[in-house]
């Protein structure tokens, strides 16, 4: 270690020290998705149009003409698990209503549903929760 530091010029060392806070900030600001926490669902199990809910994992997969969208189906008001009725997510606890894009149609919830990261691999949809 001593040999390595002695070979560094003072200017190079100062450049490295100047960049260190930015590296720490980048690590802090980038999303932390744990790739080991996932659900795998066969694409064939998804309805052609509509919602596929995995209530124990608070996850909803929407498939329509525009593609696939994946949401957390925890109400953004107090976290109740949502149901799907008439192309809307409905909170059974306090009556919040969300459309299939995740936007709030009726409160008390104020924030839209959280989109979840996913990928399609080997005829399965892998959802990171």
Q: Which of 58, 77, 94, 115 is catalytic?
A: 94
Active-site residue flag, 115: no
In angstroms, rounded to a whole number, what is the distance separating the alpha carbons of residues 59 and 114? 10
Catalytic residues: 94
């Amino acid at each position: 270690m001593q040999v390595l530091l002695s070979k560094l010029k003072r200017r190079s060392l100062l450049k490295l020290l100047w960049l260190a806070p930015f590296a720490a900030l980048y690590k802090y600001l980038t999303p932390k998705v744990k790739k080991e926490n996932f659900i795998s669902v066969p694409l064939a199990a998804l309805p052609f149009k509509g919602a596929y809910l995995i209530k124990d994992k608070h996850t909803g997969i929407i498939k329509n003409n525009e593609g696939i969208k994946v949401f957390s189906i925890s109400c953004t008001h107090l976290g109740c698990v949502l149901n799907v009725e008439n192309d809307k997510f409905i909170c059974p606890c306090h009556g919040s209503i969300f459309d299939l894009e995740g936007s709030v149609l009726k409160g008390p919830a104020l924030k839209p549903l959280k989109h979840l990261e996913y990928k399609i691999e080997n005829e399965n949809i892998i959802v990171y929760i």
